[in-house]
Chains A and B, each alone.
Chain A
């Protein structure tokens, strides 16, 4: 029996954890990846777009990569070179892109995929939510074609870039706000879960030992990503973005709660915080499936399993 595939768009700012999220997505028979769109965040738009095209080449993804917005909807861009290096994806050598960049913008590409798809499309957005926010604003007629926006961003308990705000949401709080108030189902993997999605060096040695080209690349991404995290005191690599992929396919290993969530747009100290109504104080109906916990060991096992699927893979370096 063949698995029913769900059409997905991968939107991100790769980025080591975006890249690993996309490896995971590419390995899943449940997904039919329709397009990749990029957004400025971890590095500048030109750099993350080049990275996205190289990742697509590594994974032999026969899809177009469409460049998104270079800046947030209305804020100045923040980037994170201390985590991801000058290229935005420092570490192992990657194959050069196989396909030219799409002539469409990310918004046009997303709209085209939604328009052409008979089924609803899942958008996995693992960078600032700029492209998705722009899509919702400019193609309101396509909202109903979106199955769910699965986002890595925010944190109910705490932030990381500031005490209250997580990086992706801090970069473009308005875009995040538009998602939560769009009526489209949103699944949120915030720091509540992603800081529990810790992969330790012994875990990624399991991946390296698989000894296929993708697994080796993933292990070397971990090596690089962990450098700055270990300086901050982390004992392993917090694998933020892959949660947004895996929680769609294996919700049973995650703790998922229905909350009303919104994004703070003001605030001296809290701009970009995702605020959740845990006690039901506002009377607002839940608009979000907030992922707040996971079974770490099973998460790691799925990751290793995903990397094992690239056995015998050929890569032209």
Chain B
């Protein structure tokens, strides 16, 4: 079986870390490059976390590039109340001693895309600043990148950051608008599906109580997560937001979605950062630039992710 070459751009926080730890062990995927962007926490922290997580999984061989330290236009917005000041909920983790990769994330992403022309799948689970920078700098990027798979936005439902916008898109709405207009097909795992792709309390505890280095990290990093979701009125669950686009690449049979036109609102007062999706309206945008994931097989996801985390080396 030929592996799918995948680049992952992340603002490594807690659920990003869990997504990376899955990505490294999905036999369908070959992670060929990583980049860090400012988002959940500062670039300094997301860069360090991405490197440390790769090292924890025994993948110091994958280069980690530093991306944008701030969004294009809006003021930076952090989620330290979710991910802790360090981005990993204060979990203990050894720092990577891998040599630091040289160069900007967007340049490295473009070079990588040229190595896998028409094949490279780009996963972006933070604000879309780095991907948008690659889009604006390299007009021929669309001919090399097969698809962009984001965790971000919401097609139908409330936002989690303002009344209509999801956090990653709100993190850099202008960059997101650029990515959706890039001509590269976008697969959007927004809150529509990521709220459904959750672990319940028992499932989190089963993972957290397993004695290996990865489960130990998850146990420490997710200490506050269940309480936080409960506080939001969503129950004692933990959403696997950032894992969705990665799992969808390896196991598209776990997900279902629809083709739609999506544009990002960049001038609205109440709706800045909304992914305006035409799925449910008579009026259409006139493009179908996005596959919007809407549903998932939660049981299958839980089974697979539990197996991957609990079978990491001690």
Contact = CB atoms under 8 A, between A and B. Distances in A.
Contacts of A262: 270
A157 B156 contact: yes
Contact of A268 (B233, B266, B283, B284): B266
A158 B266 CA distance: 18
Contacts of B283: 159-163
A270 B271 contact: yes
A312 interface: no
A258 B39 CA distance: 33
A264 B270 contact: yes
A316 interface: no
Contact of A164 (B158, B266, B271): B271
A2 interface: no
A277 interface: yes
A275 B163 contact: yes
B271 A264 contact: yes
Interface in B268-292: 268-271, 274, 276-285
Interface in B131-164: 156-164
A282 B271 CA distance: 13
B158 A278 contact: yes
Given A163-B276, A265-B269, A268-B267, A277 B281 contact: no
A267 B268 contact: yes
Interface string A253-276: 000000000101111111101011
Given A158-B280, A161-B283, A269 B263 contact: yes
Given A270-B276, A275-B164, A276-B163, A163 B271 contact: no
A161 B163 CA distance: 21
Contacts of B282: 160-161, 232
A279 B162 CA distance: 10
Nearest to B264: A269
Interface string A147-181: 00000000001111111100000000000000000
B267 A267 contact: yes
A317 interface: no
Contacts of B158: 276-279, 281
A277 B265 contact: no
B269 A273 contact: no
A162 B274 CA distance: 14
B232 interface: yes
A282 to B, nearest CB: 7
A275 B273 CA distance: 13
Contacts of B160: 279, 281
Nearest to B278: A163
Interface string B217-244: 0000000000000001100000000000
Interface string A39-56: 000000000000000000
Contacts of A162: 281, 283
B285 A270 contact: no
Contacts of A158: 156, 279-281
B163 A278 contact: yes
A201 B274 CA distance: 37
Interface residues of A, number: 26
Contacts of A265: 269
Contacts of A268: 263, 265-268
A284 to B, nearest CB: 10
Contacts of B265: 164, 267-270
B73 to A, nearest CB: 14
A270 B281 contact: no
Contacts of A271: 268
A270 B177 CA distance: 14
Nearest to A269: B276
B261 interface: yes
B195 to A, nearest CB: 11
A267 B271 contact: yes
Nearest to A284: B163
Contacts of A160: 281-283
B235 to A, nearest CB: 14
A164 B232 contact: no
A275 B270 contact: yes
Given A264-B269, A281-B162, A270 B274 contact: yes
Contacts of A264: 268-271
Contacts of B157: 157, 278
Nearest to B266: A268
A278 B165 CA distance: 12
A118 B32 CA distance: 75
A317 to B, nearest CB: 34
Contacts of B278: 163
Given A276-B158, A279-B160, A163 B266 contact: no
21 contacts: A157-B280, A159-B283, A161-B282, A161-B283, A162-B281, A163-B278, A163-B280, A262-B270, A264-B270, A265-B269, A267-B267, A267-B269, A270-B265, A270-B270, A270-B276, A273-B268, A273-B270, A275-B163, A275-B270, A278-B163, A279-B233
Given A276-B163, A281-B161, 19 more contacts: A157-B157, A158-B279, A161-B281, A161-B283, A163-B261, A163-B280, A163-B281, A163-B284, A163-B285, A164-B281, A264-B269, A268-B266, A270-B265, A273-B271, A275-B271, A276-B158, A278-B157, A278-B163, A279-B160
Interface of A: 157-164, 232, 262, 264-271, 273, 275-279, 281-282
Shortest 3 CB-CB contacts between residues of A and residues of B = A267-B268, A158-B280, A278-B158
